[in-house]
């Protein structure tokens, strides 16, 4: 999860008979550690310089501020006042018991965590709970914001300076569509003061390349810091809605839809019109745009529930009856209408409202008895149907203007929008009296569309086909779509193998403590174990889509060679450029291994993580972290980003031997288990039993 940061506001040294350094050492610091929170004091930033700038920034940026008000200390009161003036919540006050200084008048009604200055550690259990409760509390604790309920907190993002080289790494990964690299960056950015702003940049990049699993994880981290984070909820509403469409099981689909609806409703609650002031035209337009998007997403979720109500019915007739009876049909129509009403430029909401209304009208005409079931009498049913037809006519007329179908009502200078082009074709499909008109509209509208956009339009038409609505228009339109992009749904891989294992012992290793000796017998034993493990995975349901491994002499190269012999493709991921990696991790194996490495690089184009062993400038301050740990995480997140149903880590590993250093086999075995990989450990002790010289 995202690292929570605390800033400690307190006196220093011994004052008023209280050793405040001891209080931090025995109470505050252990409590922060137990709660998984990182903390800093003014004293630490004093040592580093720029105290005023850093102090102001940390008082605003910190997720939690702890203030010790045991004595009257001007600096503590000043810093607490800044916090209360800029942040509305997550400030924890504490005091020593029986202190001589009275409570400050303005803070007498506040709650305090108390401790015994003679034994601060005794208050540790209760203080840990206070930390967690303060962070979880959504109520305001600032007297300033309580007194002025319409005051809004300072925007933390304005003070977060995201390093430019980090932003460049995100941009490179986004433009290359590298979902795994973005997940790595989302992992690495946690813990920095600018971490949440960095996460937001990564999350937007993941969203743009449709890396939904990673984007969900990133925006949920941001929502963990603020459950009402507008952008996080806005994105999650769409992300969960799209994940529902990919869900494998019914329960998983409904869970994703529910989470989407919860996120959208949080957005709608945040975008109500203000009742204490007039909006500017820009504010009103932006708010209505977001509300239109929110209602459209609710409409899409209701549409998904509606499809579930009828698609599994036993026969086409039963499907049509169930589709018309489903309450989610009317709900979807209303949500789409609400979205279009909020913003008449929201042609997506309008087109979908018209499409669902068209289905309802056609089914009602074809199944009048089923339609009449929801009304008190036949006259009411007929009147409702006529009302729906009139509404559909008005919608179609409004949409013709919204999408620019009237050449006399056109906005000049409007940028090309592929979705507007497709919406024009959708409108023609819904209103054309001749099938050829509908087909021609899609031929024009899809001329510049990619497979993703074409598939989205095709999915909607297939619903009309299943329900027997506008059948002639459907077939004419699908012919054009299938010529533009054949209907071949992309399938996610079933199983991916991530491999790690010991490389051949270097000449520097103690001869009396071998781990992977460079002998023919040990190499043959390693190959045999790796081959068996890969074959076992291939025999599992769905087989193996591909494998991922590094390129060190020994286990890595053997894995690539085994997979190649078995017809399994692999990805070669190197921490350093080919020549540097060869010098670092291959040359010590001898000429034969160098040749095998170079042949591997010719057969499988390697991906390279970094140009040198130095971490990027933005990452250099991360404690206990190096290029080899980064490389392990990079490979793992690229395996995760492929979104296979099953993930297997095969590790040739001797637990009895100390690791060479951070970032080795032991590290990847540990972190992969935390991310849900099935681990197949190959006992590398067998290499020592194989013997040989």
Kindly write down the DSSP assignment for every residue of 280-334, as one continuous string: PHHHHHHHHHHHHHHHHHHHHHHHHHHHHHHTT-SSHHHHHHHHHH-HHHHHHHH
Answer yes or no: CATH 3.40.1190.10 is held by domain 4-156: no
d(CA 189, CA 1) in angstroms, rounded, equals 11
pLDDT for the residue numbered 355: 96
Query: Integer distance in angstroms from the first to the last C-alpha of the chain?
Result: 48
Q: pLDDT-based confidence at 102, cuts 50/70/90?
A: confident
Q: pLDDT-based confidence at 345, cuts 50/70/90?
A: confident
Condensed to tens digits (0 to 9), the pLDDT of residues 555-571 reads 999 999 999 999 999 99
pLDDT for the residue numbered 140: 87
Is the per-residue pLDDT at 51 higher than 90? no
The CATH code that applies to domain 495-690 is: 3.40.50.450
Q: pLDDT-based confidence at 237, cuts 50/70/90?
A: very high
Closest CA to 270 of 217, 300, 232: 232
Residue 331 near residue 291, CB atoms below 8 Å: no
Secondary structure string (H, E, C) spanning 488-523: CCCCCCCEEEEEEECECCCCCCCCCCCCCCCCHHHH
Closest CA to 573 of 181, 170, 183: 181
pLDDT for the residue numbered 103: 64
Residue 59 near residue 7, CB atoms below 8 Å: yes
pLDDT for the residue numbered 48: 47
Is the per-residue pLDDT at 3 higher than 70? no
When mean pLDDT is compared across 263-267, 280-284, 456-460, 660-664, the lowest value belongs to 660-664
Q: What single DSSP character describes residue 431? A: H
Provide the CA 45 distance to its chain's centre, in angstroms. Answer: 33
Condensed to tens digits (0 to 9), the pLDDT of residues 504-534 reads 998 888 888 899 999 999 999 999 999 999 9
The CA distances from residue 71 to 94, 108, 364, in Å, are 11, 14, 76
When mean pLDDT is compared across 93-107, 183-197, 374-388, 494-508, the lowest value belongs to 93-107
User: If you average pLDDT over every residue of the chain, what do you get?
Assistant: 89
Condensed to tens digits (0 to 9), the pLDDT of residues 583-599 reads 999 999 999 999 999 99
The CA distances from residue 672 to 84, 571, 636, in Å, are 42, 18, 7
Name the token pair of 149.
């309920």
Secondary structure string (H, E, C) spanning 602-636: HHCCCEECCCCCCCCHHHCCCCCCCHHHHHHHHHH
Q: pLDDT-based confidence at 488, cuts 50/70/90?
A: low
Q: Which helix (H) or strand (E) holds 561?
A: helix 555-566
Q: pLDDT-based confidence at 168, cuts 50/70/90?
A: very high
Architecture of domain 160-270 in CATH? Alpha Horseshoe (1.25)
The CA distances from residue 55 to 20, 61, 264, 582, in Å, are 19, 10, 36, 47
All residues at 6 or more sequence positions from 386 whose CB lies less than 8 Å from its CB, including other chains: none
More confident: 353 or 55: 353
Q: Residues of the chain with pLDDT > 70: what percent?
A: 93
d(CA 461, CA 351) in angstroms, rounded, equals 13
Strands (E) across 69-199 are located at: 91-96, 113-115
When mean pLDDT is compared across 56-70, 459-473, 608-622, the lowest value belongs to 56-70
Mean pLDDT confidence for 497-503: 96
Which residue's structure tokens are 């609400």? Answer: 338
Provide the CA 355 distance to its chain's centre, in angstroms. Answer: 31
When mean pLDDT is compared across 49-58, 160-169, 385-394, 564-573, the lowest value belongs to 49-58
When mean pLDDT is compared across 148-152, 240-244, 426-430, the lowest value belongs to 148-152
pLDDT for the residue numbered 551: 97
More confident: 225 or 213: 213
- Transcribe 581-593 into DSSP letters: HHHHHTGGG-HHH
d(CA 470, CA 473) in angstroms, rounded, equals 6
More confident: 533 or 448: 533
pLDDT for the residue numbered 1: 41
Q: pLDDT-based confidence at 49, cuts 50/70/90?
A: very low
Residue 116 near residue 122, CB atoms below 8 Å: yes
pLDDT for the residue numbered 165: 95
pLDDT for the residue numbered 497: 98
Is the per-residue pLDDT at 426 higher than 60? yes
pLDDT for the residue numbered 448: 84
pLDDT for the residue numbered 280: 86
When mean pLDDT is compared across 61-65, 74-78, 225-229, the lowest value belongs to 225-229
d(CA 549, CA 94) in angstroms, rounded, equals 52
More confident: 193 or 411: 193
Q: pLDDT-based confidence at 487, cuts 50/70/90?
A: low
All residues at 6 or more sequence positions from 546 whose CB lies less than 8 Å from its CB, including other chains: 493, 496, 497, 568, 569, 570, 571, 642
pLDDT for the residue numbered 513: 86
Residue 550 near residue 498, CB atoms below 8 Å: no
Name the token pair of 602.
């010719």
Is the per-residue pLDDT at 47 higher than 50? no
Q: b/e map of 410-429 (b: 16 or more CB within 10 Å)?
A: eeeeeeeeebbbbbbbbbbb
For the chain, the domains span 4-156, 160-270, 495-690
pLDDT for the residue numbered 44: 54
Tally of residues, the chain: 693
pLDDT for the residue numbered 196: 87
The CA distances from residue 120 to 8, 9, 564, in Å, are 16, 17, 63
Q: pLDDT-based confidence at 279, cuts 50/70/90?
A: confident
Q: pLDDT-based confidence at 57, cuts 50/70/90?
A: confident
pLDDT for the residue numbered 559: 98
Closest CA to 664 of 522, 508, 554, 520: 554
Do 4-156 and 495-690 agree at the fold level?
yes
When mean pLDDT is compared across 57-66, 154-163, 505-514, 613-622, the lowest value belongs to 154-163
pLDDT for the residue numbered 41: 67
- Within a 10 A sphere around the Cβ of 287, how many other Cβ atoms? 18
Q: Is the dihedral of CA 458, 464, 468, 474 positive or negative?
A: negative
Burial tier of 255 (Cβ tally within 10 Å: 0-12, 13-18, 19+):
middle
Is the per-residue pLDDT at 152 higher than 90? no
The CA distances from residue 343 to 285, 288, 355, 392, in Å, are 8, 6, 18, 18
Closest CA to 622 of 69, 198, 31: 198
Is the per-residue pLDDT at 128 higher than 60? yes
The CA distances from residue 446 to 267, 424, 449, 487, in Å, are 33, 10, 5, 14
Which residue's structure tokens are 């008979």? Answer: 17
Closest CA to 529 of 307, 683, 689, 313: 683
Decide: helix, strand or coil at residue 6. Answer: strand
pLDDT for the residue numbered 101: 75
Is the per-residue pLDDT at 407 higher than 90? no
The CA distances from residue 584 to 338, 575, 594, 615, 653, in Å, are 62, 10, 12, 16, 20
Q: pLDDT-based confidence at 37, cuts 50/70/90?
A: confident
d(CA 585, CA 442) in angstroms, rounded, equals 55
Condensed to tens digits (0 to 9), the pLDDT of residues 656-679 reads 876 666 778 999 999 999 999 999
The top-scoring range by mean pLDDT among 238-247, 384-393, 400-409 is 384-393
d(CA 1, CA 443) in angstroms, rounded, equals 47
The DSSP bridge partners found for residue 608 are 574
Closest CA to 84 of 163, 135, 1, 141: 141
All residues at 6 or more sequence positions from 550 whose CB lies less than 8 Å from its CB, including other chains: 500, 556, 572, 573, 574, 575, 585, 631, 635
């Amino acid at each position: 999860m995202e690292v929570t940061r605390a800033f400690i506001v307190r006196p220093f040294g011994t004052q008023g008979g209280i050793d405040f350094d001891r209080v931090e050492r025995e109470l505050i610091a252990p409590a922060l550690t137990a709660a998984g929170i990182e903390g800093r004091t003014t004293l630490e930033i004093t040592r580093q310089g720029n105290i005023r700038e850093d102090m102001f920034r940390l008082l605003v940026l910190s997720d939690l501020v702890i203030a010790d008000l045991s004595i009257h200390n001007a600096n503590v009161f000043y810093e607490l006042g800044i916090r209360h003036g800029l942040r509305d919540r997550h400030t924890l006050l504490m005091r020593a018991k029986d202190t001589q200084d009275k409570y400050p008048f303005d803070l007498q009604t506040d709650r305090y965590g108390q401790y015994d200055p003679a034994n601060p550690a005794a208050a540790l259990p209760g203080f840990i709970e206070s930390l967690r409760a303060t962070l979880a509390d959504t109520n305001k604790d600032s007297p300033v914001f309580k007194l002025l309920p319409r005051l809004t907190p300072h925007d933390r993002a304005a003070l977060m300076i995201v390093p430019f080289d980090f932003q460049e790494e995100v941009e490179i990964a986004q433009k290359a569509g590298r979902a795994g690299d973005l997940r790595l960056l989302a992992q690495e950015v946690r813990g920095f003061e600018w971490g949440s702003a960095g996460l937001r940049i990564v999350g937007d990049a993941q969203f743009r390349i449709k890396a939904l699993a990673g984007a969900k994880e990133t925006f949920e981290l941001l929502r963990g810091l603020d459950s009402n984070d507008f952008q996080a909820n806005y994105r999650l509403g769409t992300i969960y809605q799209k994940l529902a469409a990919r869900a494998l099981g019914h329960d998983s689909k409904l869970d994703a839809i529910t989470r989407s609806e919860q996120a959208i409703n949080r957005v709608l609650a945040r975008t109500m019109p203000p009742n204490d002031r007039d909006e500017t035209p820009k504010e009103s337009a932006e708010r209505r745009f977001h509300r239109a998007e929110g209602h459209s997403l609710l409409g899409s979720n209701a549409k998904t529930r509606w499809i579930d109500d009828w698609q599994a019915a036993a026969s086409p007739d039963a499907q049509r009856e169930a589709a018309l009876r489903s309450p989610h049909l009317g709900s979807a129509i209303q949500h789409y209408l609400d979205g279009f009403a909020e913003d008449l430029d929201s042609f997506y909401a309008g087109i979908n409202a018209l499409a669902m209304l068209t289905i309802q009208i056609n089914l009602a005409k074809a199944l009048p008895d089923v339609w009449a079931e929801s009304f008190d009498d036949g006259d009411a049913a007929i009147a409702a149907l006529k009302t729906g037809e009139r509404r559909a006519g008005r919608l179609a007329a409004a949409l013709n203007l919204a999408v620019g179908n009237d050449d006399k009502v056109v906005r000049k200078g409007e940028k090309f929008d592929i979705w507007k082009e497709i919406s024009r074709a959708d409108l023609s499909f819904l209103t054309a009296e001749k099938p050829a008109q509908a087909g021609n509209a899609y031929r024009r509208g899809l001329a510049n569309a990619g497979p993703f956009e074409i598939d989205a339009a095709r999915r909607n038409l297939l619903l009309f086909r299943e329900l027997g609505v506008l059948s002639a228009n459907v077939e004419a339109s699908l012919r054009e779509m299938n010529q533009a992009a054949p209907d071949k749904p992309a399938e996610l891989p079933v199983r991916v193998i991530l491999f790690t294992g010991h490389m051949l012992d270097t000449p520097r290793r103690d001869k009396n403590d071998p781990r992977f000796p460079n002998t023919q017998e040990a190499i043959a034993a390693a190959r045999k174990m790796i081959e068996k493990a890969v074959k076992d995975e291939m025999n599992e349901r769905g087989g193996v889509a591909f494998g991922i491994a590094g390129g060190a002499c020994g286990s890595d190269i053997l894995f690539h060679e085994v997979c190649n012999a078995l017809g399994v493709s692999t990805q070669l991921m190197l921490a350093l450029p080919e020549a540097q990696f060869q010098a670092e991790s291959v040359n010590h194996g001898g000429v034969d291994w160098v040749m095998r490495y170079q042949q591997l690089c010719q057969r499988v184009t390697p991906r390279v993580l970094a140009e040198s062993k130095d971490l990027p400038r933005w990452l250099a301050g991360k404690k206990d972290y190096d290029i080899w740990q980064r490389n392990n995480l990079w490979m793992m997140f690229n395996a995760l980003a492929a979104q296979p149903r099953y993930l297997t880590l095969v590790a040739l590993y001797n637990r009895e031997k100390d690791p060479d250093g951070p970032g080795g086999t032991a590290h990847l075995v540990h972190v992969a288990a935390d991310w849900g990989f099935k681990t197949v450990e190959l006992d590398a002790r067998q290499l020592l039993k194989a013997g040989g010289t």
